[in-house]
């Protein structure tokens, strides 16, 4: 038997999954790492801890599989996107903690860019709205705020990367500094049309080109790992940001096919084909993947981002302490038939698509002493995840001019049947959960396996995709429309709260 190893480096944990040729999960290992909150609105990770946990779980998953290192034909990487690392090329040590995608410290800088009238130009080039979510202003902040760093960067002594680049650097002992177009397109420094770093944007954010990684195809052998890491040199053959990898793993290869991943946040991508589609509804235009198997065919997607999904359930557990484990939220929410007109807007890190309000903050509205219980709040939290996603898909259907016919779902919270039924109800279309919900890691495995001939092509991948359960909408159309309108009232009350 031969296998592919997928490294799935997420926001709160590092995982490794071994897949066989039938795309079945052979073994899994996972380890959480620390979340660092230096001050309100700031979120950081220790990049050294990310690498240490990712390496350890990879070894653990390989050992659990019972296979030897020589049985692995490829290694694929997928990662939390936008999180920004800057490190010393000589020592391999970060100059500071990584700034996480959720971090809002550069919101004032983004305000200034918008005030300068930069929005249209940046969106035209990058497909992105100006927001602190993306890597460009995070990198600029590190260059400006960490003492001595800018001079070292301009001298070529430092390397910038998103987490994929950081992993590749460590996997190759510092021999390779690379990223793929799906991750590069999340930096606000990458031109979708030229498929290269953009000199005008680098100058705007005062980023020296010397710190940037090479951009390589998402599917293709880019390097081999150091043999000392795993007992053999494994080909690093696939690389994509987590949401693009999940779209690939869901076999969304045709324009109009869409998926939603329910992780820390919710990320909805619709394949729009070989040309980027400019958004009029404040969605993101992003590279889906380039390749596969070395072919330079680029697939583009429209994307909507919900910042707080599984993280909302984490807040119920760790912040409010109304549940002991995340799994309890479904049974608690099911204790009531509705929320009693209570709405939770989980704008703890601002609002993403379609509002893009970095100053919005979390609100809980509609409470009364007579009706509001732990169960109502739990149900409101689940509804918030589904309602935010419904907002995004409404905008997406208008932009792409393709009606959504079904939604493929994955990620940890997709196993919550109540949430998936809510999602079908609020969208008004079927929600389909696959048998393999580890589609993010599977997408990375597929990209790597295609590059090494382990899988033959898109047709084989599509044939391996199998539905586990289909959730049909039950909510009458009038009630659905009224629910979405009431939700928007609640969102308006959350906007702008933290504005200076």
Distance CA 246, CA 378 (A): 27
Structure tokens at 412: 């940890």
Q: Is 416 annotated as a binding residue?
A: yes
Q: Is 412 annotated as a binding residue?
A: yes
**Distances, alpha carbon 89 to alpha carbons 54, 107, 467, in Å:** 20, 29, 46
Q: Is 286 annotated as a binding residue?
A: no
Distance CA 116, CA 302 (A): 26
Structure tokens at 489: 């009232």
Q: Is 11 annotated as a binding residue?
A: yes
Q: Is 474 annotated as a binding residue?
A: no
Q: Quick one: how many helices (H) and strands (E) in the chain?
A: 17, 23
Closest CA to 126 of 115, 138, 134, 117: 134
Assign residue 444 a region (left: φ > 0; alpha: ψ between -120 and 50; beta: otherwise): alpha
Q: Could you give phi then psi for residue 191, rounded to 5 degrees? A: -90, 115
Q: Is 65 annotated as a binding residue?
A: no
Q: Is 310 annotated as a binding residue?
A: yes
Q: Is 243 annotated as a binding residue?
A: yes
Q: Is 264 annotated as a binding residue?
A: yes
Chain-centre distance for alpha carbon 9? 10
Contacts of 183 (CB under 8 A, 6+ apart): 79, 81, 162, 164, 165, 239, 240, 241
Three-class DSSP category at 312? helix
Distance CA 204, CA 97 (A): 24
Structure tokens at 143: 């260059």
Closest CA to 394 of 383, 403, 382: 403
Q: Is 219 annotated as a binding residue?
A: no
**Distances, alpha carbon 302 to alpha carbons 257, 310, 406, in Å:** 11, 22, 16
Contacts of 357 (CB under 8 A, 6+ apart): 347, 350, 351, 495, 496
Contacts of 414 (CB under 8 A, 6+ apart): 261, 262, 420, 433, 437
Q: How many CB atoms lie within 10 A of CB 278?
A: 13
Q: Is 282 annotated as a binding residue?
A: no
Three-class DSSP category at 18? strand
**Distances, alpha carbon 356 to alpha carbons 126, 129, 304, 360, 361, in Å:** 16, 8, 10, 9, 12
Distance CA 240, CA 191 (A): 17
Q: Is 218 annotated as a binding residue?
A: no
Q: Where are the alpha helices (DSSP H) in 401-438?
A: 417-427
Q: Which value, in Å, is the radius of gyration of the alpha carbons in the chain?
A: 22
Annotated binding site for sn-glycerol 3-phosphate: 11, 81-82, 133, 242
Q: Which residues are part of a known binding site for glycerol?
A: 81-82, 133, 242-243
Where is the binding site for ADP, in residues? Answer: 11, 15, 264, 310, 412, 416
Annotated binding site: 11-13, 15, 81-82, 133, 242-243, 264, 310, 314, 412, 416
Q: Residues comprising the binding site for ATP?
A: 11-13, 264, 310, 314, 412
């Amino acid at each position: 038997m031969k296998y592919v190893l997928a490294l799935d480096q997420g926001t709160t944990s590092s995982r490794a999954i071994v897949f066989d040729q039938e795309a079945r999960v052979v073994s899994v290992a996972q380890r959480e790492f620390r979340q660092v909150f230096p001050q309100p609105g700031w979120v950081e990770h220790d990049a050294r801890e990310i690498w240490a946990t990712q390496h350890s779980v990879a070894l653990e998953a390989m050992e659990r599989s019972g296979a030897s290192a020589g049985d692995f034909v490829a290694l694929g990487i997928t990662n939390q996107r936008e999180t920004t690392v800057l490190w010393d090329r000589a020592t391999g040590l970060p100059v500071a903690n990584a700034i996480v995608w959720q971090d809002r410290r550069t919101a004032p800088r983004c305000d200034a860019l918008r005030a300068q009238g930069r929005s249209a130009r940046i969106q035209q080039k990058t497909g992105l709205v100006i927001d602190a979510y993306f890597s460009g202003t995070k990198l600029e902040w590190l260059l400006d705020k960490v003492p001595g760093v800018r001079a070292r960067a301009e001298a070529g002594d430092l390397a910038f990367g998103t987490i994929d680049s950081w992993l590749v650097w460590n996997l190759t002992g510092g021999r390779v500094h690379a990223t793929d177009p799906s991750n590069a397109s999340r930096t606000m420094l990458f031109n979708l049309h030229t498929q290269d770093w953009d000199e005008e944007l680098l100058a705007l954010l005062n980023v020296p080109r010397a710190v940037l990684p090479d951009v390589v195809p998402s599917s293709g052998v880019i390097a081999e790992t150091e043999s000392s890491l795993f007992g053999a040199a494994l080909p690093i053959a696939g690389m994509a940001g987590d949401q693009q990898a999940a779209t690939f793993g869901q076999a969304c290869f045709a324009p109009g096919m869409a998926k939603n991943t329910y992780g820390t946040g919710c990320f909805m991508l619709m394949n729009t084909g070989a040309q980027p589609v400019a958004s009029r509804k404040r969605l993101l235009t992003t590279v889906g993947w380039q390749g596969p198997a070395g072919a330079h065919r680029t697939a583009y997607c429209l994307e909507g981002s919900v910042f707080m999904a599984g993280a909302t359930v984490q807040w119920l557990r760790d912040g409010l302490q109304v549940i002991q484990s995340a799994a309890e939220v479904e049974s608690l929410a099911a204790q009531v038939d509705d929320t009693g007109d209570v709405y939770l807007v989980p704008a703890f890190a601002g609002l993403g698509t379609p509002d893009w309000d970095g100053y919005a903050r979390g609100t809980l509205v509609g409470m009364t002493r007579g009706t509001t219980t732990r169960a109502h709040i739990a149900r409101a939290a689940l509804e918030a995840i589904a309602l935010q996603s419904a907002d995004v898909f409404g905008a997406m259907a208008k932009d792409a001019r393709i009606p959504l016919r079904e939604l493929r779902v994955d990620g940890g919270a997709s196993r919550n049947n109540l949430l998936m039924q809510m999602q079908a109800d609020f969208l008004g279309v079927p929600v389909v959960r696959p048998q393999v919900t580890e589609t993010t890691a599977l997408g990375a495995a597929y990209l790597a396996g295609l590059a090494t001939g382990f899988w033959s092509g898109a047709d084989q991948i599509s044939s391996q995709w199998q539905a586990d359960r289909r959730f049909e909408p039950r909510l009458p159309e009038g009630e659905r429309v009224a629910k979405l309108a009431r939700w928007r009232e609640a969102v308006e009350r959350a906007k702008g709260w933290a504005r200076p």
